[in-house]
Amino acid sequence: MARVALVTGGTRGIGAAISKALKAAGYKVAANYAGNDAAAEKFKAETGIAVYKWDVSSFDACAAGVKQVEADLGPIEVLVNNAGITRDTAFHKMTLEQWTAVINTNLGSLFNMTRQVIEGMRARKFGRIISISSINGQKGQFGQVNYSAAKAGDIGFTKALALENAKGGITVNAICPGYINTEMVQAVPKDVLEKNVIPQIPASRLGEPEEIARAVLFLAADEAGFITGSTLTVNGGQYMV
């Protein structure tokens, strides 16, 4: 029977690539999204993947959303915590709203989502929890104290939860993408990308969303049961740990 996978932020960018790759690999996929109804409906029409709208920064919304997904598709066995936002500014100008919005969505959502599925995974003795962190959670980034703090927290979350569940057939891993060719990166002025960003990448190019999706498929596989607590960097050599 096909395993059920839920991808947060799963209808656009990296999340969309992950959702499509999981479906192509035979998973039953649910793609969560926050607010872009037009993009979600287009994604659903093009892929046939079920879409579900809720705010991952809300614990109650996550509880209701997961309950609906499991009623529709079955118990969630693979959770991909991909949803994330940015509110970039230098820290001395950062507002409380800019801080809390990013922390609650990019880090708080890992608790909100994973808490809904962990007991079922423990009972069934199987689970794959994969969180999309960032190169900037590893090395920091000017103007992203909030984002870097949240993404670094994702890595700590991964390591501790992996320890707690390693005996129960549940793996918990993180992926740290570098600069990936998504709408967010495409919004950066072309001259800035060509002069300041790409020269820092030894591979001399942006990554593609499908390359992150392939990393997710690797970690989600039944055969990846001995890989847990790991951080997989996918950044073209830009930052090595």
Contact 52, 5 (CB under 8 A): no
Taking the C-alpha atoms of residue 39 and residue 47, their distance in angstroms, rounded to an integer, is: 12
Burial letters 84-101, b for 16+ CB under 10 A, else e: bbbbeeeeeebeeebbeb
CA angle 238, 143, 8 (to 5 degrees): 70
27 is catalytic: no
Calculated CA dihedral for residues 88, 113, 39, 26, nearest 10 degrees: 130
Helix (H) / strand (E) element for 1: namely: none
Q: Per the structure block, which two tokens stand in for 154?
A: 């994702």
Residue 209, CA distances (Å) to 101, 182, 192 in order: 24, 7, 20
Single out the catalytic residue among 52, 147, 179, 239: 147
Q: What is the 3-state secondary structure (H, E, C) of 75-114?
A: CEEEEEECCCCCCCCCHHHCCHHHHHHHHHHHHHHHHHHH
Phi first, then psi: what are they for 32, rounded to 5°? -85, 150
- Amino acid making up residue 36: N
Taking the C-alpha atoms of residue 231 and residue 217, their distance in angstroms, rounded to an integer, is: 15
The catalytic residue positions are: 147
